[in-house]
Structure 1
């Protein structure tokens, strides 16, 4: 992976901040367009690179979900000097974001959960989970190989940094994070936005409404379902709409105006609030 593309970044300045968390085998590159849009609206944005990510498959051998949780918590606490802190996470990053909101309710003032990896798509992941239950996963398939990333835009796909493989042992960490996310849902007390892509080939988009129903203590939850683009929503065709929705959502929590007129794209395929 190109280290210049996958490096962590900080953008913008303002009294309020947003922590951006990327997904499993991804990097800050995946969420940078969202970060740029939020910075343009007056937020300070920080996107760390999670441990073991952004370099080589072997770098993931020596980390676990505890390292990712610890890194996310440290990044959040580093923002304590800001007036309000928002957290936005993509895929596995959304699971980590839920844990942060539950564990640090005084620090997290709003959430954006993008393509949350609550349940995976397809028979391949189902088979791997069955192997894990029988204690065979790492013996039968020690590595999972990747040939691309889930993006519909061919131009974006051509330039995407792709980790060619990852240790199958890390799937256990993902499954544990899924369980943790479900267990902490009732403890999340800040407003939240949940965004899914209808054509996601990595995670099941029907998990979006599951999260909405599970966020019982959140004072307000907005749900949007995007008809264009695949899993890496911030980089795909639905990215501008996602950025407008997240930006407007956080702006309302700040008590400021919603997005400028020239930033408002067409309405999503499906949206709702409770």
Structure 2
């Protein structure tokens, strides 16, 4: 069923084979399910290893691909957060109907989608991995990246994608082999920013128990976005854990084992 082993997830990361295909693995006689949501321009391969760990811990796991992310193409196509969210709800509702407990794990833009879902539906627990609230701004950039995207994204459809933000070399190679796109669609990025504006208003209303992970070394999202989410989230049960050696793609990077252990412990309460 799974293409990697526990050994491969640990020290022998060169053995990992990541696959960008939707998955649904029902744990025998289990009543706990976890929906895993990938990032913008990414895919379920980003959460594959974490899904394996959760399945081994007794969770039914499901990973989906959003519209605009569901097949390899020369360029990433345009799509909107409303389309992504519709796919999320379509997957979530059957899990909610058939399991006593349903948790949602969201990476990057998947975390923003997970927050919006928790505002509208009964989610038992949230895990946010490097949640996308602000774009990382290098010191040499004169304007906020959001301003540039909103301005030039109307006329420039794509920008080239650089190497995936993973410091673990073997996992980066495996992820780049699984990734569908070599570009980012700026219309999709603009739509993700519109989702962020919506979720920013909803944060005080969300009371779902929430676990947040963020790396200080993230080169894609502004790490302070995680602090803002933690401070403004209405949940009385919330935790923020900082990492220091990983880049953006936390579930595939050098501190992934630490992330996996804390996620399993948090969801198992």
Which residue of 1 is the match for residue 260 of structure 2?
Answer: 243
Partner of 2:23: 9
Q: CA RMSD in A?
A: 1.8
Offset at residue 166 of structure 1 (A):
2.5
- Contact 2:75–2:182 (CA<8 Å) still a contact in 1? no
Q: How does 1:1-274 map to 2 (within 5 A)?
A: 5-13=19-27, 14-54=30-70, 55-56=72-73, 58=75, 60-61=77-78, 63-79=79-95, 80-105=97-122, 108-123=123-138, 126=143, 129-134=146-151, 136-139=152-155, 141-160=156-175, 161-162=178-179, 163-216=181-234, 218-252=235-269
Number of residue equivalences: 243
Q: SS at 1:185's partner residue?
A: helix
Mean Cα displacement is larger for which, 4-13 or 146-155? 4-13
SS in 2 for 1:138: coil
Aligned to 2:15: none
Q: Determine the C-alpha separation between the residues in 2 that align with 1:184 and 1:158.
A: 37
Per the TM alignment, residue 147 of structure 1 is displaced from its structure 2 partner at its CA by 2.7
- In the TM superposition, what whole-angstrom CA distance separates every residue of 1:61-100 from its partner, at most 9, and x where no partner exists? 2x21110011111111020210110000000000000001
**TM-score (norm: length of structure 2):** 0.85
Q: Distance in 2 between matches of 1:125 and 1:146?
A: 21
Q: Which runs of 5+ in 1 are unaligned?
A: 253-274
Partners of 1:87 and 1:110 within 8 A in 2: yes
Deviation of the 1:219 alpha carbon: 2.5
Q: Distance in 1 between matches of 2:224 and 2:76?
A: 32
